[in-house]
Chains A and B, each alone.
Chain A
Amino acid sequence: MKPLLGIGRASLRLLRGAGAYALLLGRLAVAARAMDGRELLRSMSVAGTDVLPLCLLTATLTGAIVVIQTGFYVASYGVTSLLGWGSGYALLREFAPLIAALALSGRVGAGQASDVAGLRAGEQLPALEALGLDVDRALLAPRLWAVLLSVLALTAVADLVALVASLLAGVLLLGVPPGAFLASMQASLRLRDALPGFVKAAFFGLAIGLCSLRAGLSVPADARGIGAAARRSVVSTLAAVLALDMALTGIL
């Protein structure tokens, strides 16, 4: 009986959680129509510039990882001509968006969550609300959509950097002639191979934004809550991104 109860309770919690996220998304989608444009730009520049170095670094490492892994197979089957295609395809479709999102969920997600928790701890949100300001439009919606747009833009950067890094790693680490690598990439890689990656990135961005805002809005409004928000956001965005990855890979 006990495990059954546990399962029941867990699924109720899951449903309630999903409902809360859906409500938040709905609220902020409505608010997006009249959101504060300057705050959107500010949030984007914070989210974007803040994580650009991190994004470049992870993309470089991801490119190298993929080419090494592909290299093991290519070497054992002796088809070096496929290395460029293989790693490019894997990067664009799966790796660059996923790893970029995972890394960003740590930085952007934690930052955003603790920021919002801080606005509650410092009473800025209640103070502005009491002055009749629509905080959804002025502060929250811009943050959500800024994360989404930043993740999309950073995915484009990550794609590019990861491809270059995979080429470099192929040449320097595995000793593949650069001409062969490039030719293999050019011959079979199409621009539309990057499309599923962008669709995923859009969902990942939405998930990071929603999870981090919800974490920031649901912790106790005090100094300790700020740290708790960052932690909660990191874990929930991580699970959300991987769950979405699973769902979207099946569809795309």
Chain B
Amino acid sequence: MTANGAALELRAIEKELGGHRVLAGASLAVKPGRVTCVVGRSGAGKSVLTRIAVGLLPPDRGEVWVLGRRIDGLSRRELRAARQGVALVLQGAALLGWLSLRENVALPLRQTLGRRSALQRADAALAEVGLAAEGELRPAEVSAGARQRAAVARALALGPRVVLYDEPTTGLDPAASRKLDQLIRRSADGGAGVLVVTHDPILVERAADEVLELSGGLLSPK
């Protein structure tokens, strides 16, 4: 943890992309067990923020602290080690089309566990998101909502202490979205620090402990 007890902390992040200043000194701190939502109109740089927070994009200036470790400027290998305990769920689920749902969930686990125990953990994680019966199906054979929940299972199966969601409910029908609200809330109740980037007001209302607005490249409480 950083000095103020945050699981994830961004300090004065600046980022320019394609000649456009997307972030101009954005700061935030996500505390364990709490859900922080970042809202803002599309194109405000919300997705850039999540990518910087997990080290997929380097910031031009500023510091990224994850679980007490500064991760900006690390090498690929160091980053991989630093990402233990961090999970990211993207808008489109981003599952591999040729693997079944349980194999998709088991894939990141297989690096550290044997195949069999990885699959056991995957089954448990799928059961937790309500997909126990769909494990053998391919992503294309289930609904978009189920795909998104499988992506959540893939992230939560790693037992992360920081979870980031990038527009998790975009493109889902209301019923599927509300299931995700619960999952997001539950992942924080387990003790993880959760950052959600979204423009879904119902999700914010039902899951957020704290809401920040991203506008003009800066984050401010809403």
User: Which residues in A have some Cβ–Cβ distance to B below 8 Å?
Assistant: 36, 42, 119, 122-124, 126-134, 137-138
Contacts and interface: CB of A to CB of B under 8 A. Distances in A.
Given A132-B86, A134-B80, A127 B111 contact: no
A127 B90 contact: yes
B101 interface: no
B83 A128 contact: no
Top 7 nearest A-B pairs (CB, nearest first) are A127-B94, A130-B88, A132-B83, A123-B94, A131-B108, A133-B108, A130-B54
16 contacts: A36-B110, A122-B94, A123-B94, A126-B56, A126-B90, A126-B94, A127-B89, A129-B56, A130-B86, A130-B88, A130-B164, A131-B154, A132-B80, A132-B158, A133-B108, A134-B111
B108 A128 contact: yes
Contacts of B55: 130
Contacts of B158: 131-132
B61 interface: no
Nearest to B50: A130
A122 to B, nearest CB: 6
Contact of A131 (B51, B87, B96): B87
A138 B86 contact: no
B98 A42 contact: yes
Contacts of A130: 54-56, 83, 86-88, 164
B155 interface: yes
Contacts of B88: 127, 130-131
Contacts, number: 55
Contacts of A122: 92, 94
Given A130-B54, A130-B56, A130-B87, A124 B80 contact: no
Given A123-B92, A130-B83, 13 more contacts: A122-B92, A123-B91, A124-B96, A126-B94, A127-B88, A127-B89, A127-B94, A127-B151, A130-B54, A131-B88, A131-B108, A131-B158, A132-B111
B52 to A, nearest CB: 11
Given A42-B98, A134-B80, A128 B107 contact: yes
B95 interface: yes
Contacts of B94: 122-124, 126-128
A123 B56 CA distance: 12
B120 interface: no
A42 B97 CA distance: 13
Contacts of A137: 111
A129 B84 CA distance: 11
B16 to A, nearest CB: 18
A77 to B, nearest CB: 55
A131 B153 CA distance: 12
Contacts of B96: 119, 124
A133 B94 CA distance: 14
A36 B96 CA distance: 14
B164 to A, nearest CB: 8
Contacts of B80: 132, 134
A124 B95 contact: yes
A131 B83 CA distance: 7
A11 to B, nearest CB: 29
A132 B108 CA distance: 7
Contacts of A133: 107-108, 111
Contacts of A42: 98
B129 to A, nearest CB: 16
A126 B51 contact: yes
A12 B88 CA distance: 38
Interface string B73-107: 00000001001101111111011101000000001
Nearest to A128: B108
Nearest to A118: B97
Contacts of A123: 90-92, 94
A127 B87 CA distance: 9
Interface in B157-205: 158, 164
Given A42-B98, A127-B94, A131-B155, A138 B56 contact: no
A134 B77 CA distance: 9
A131 B87 CA distance: 5
Contacts of B95: 124
A129 to B, nearest CB: 7
A133 B84 CA distance: 9
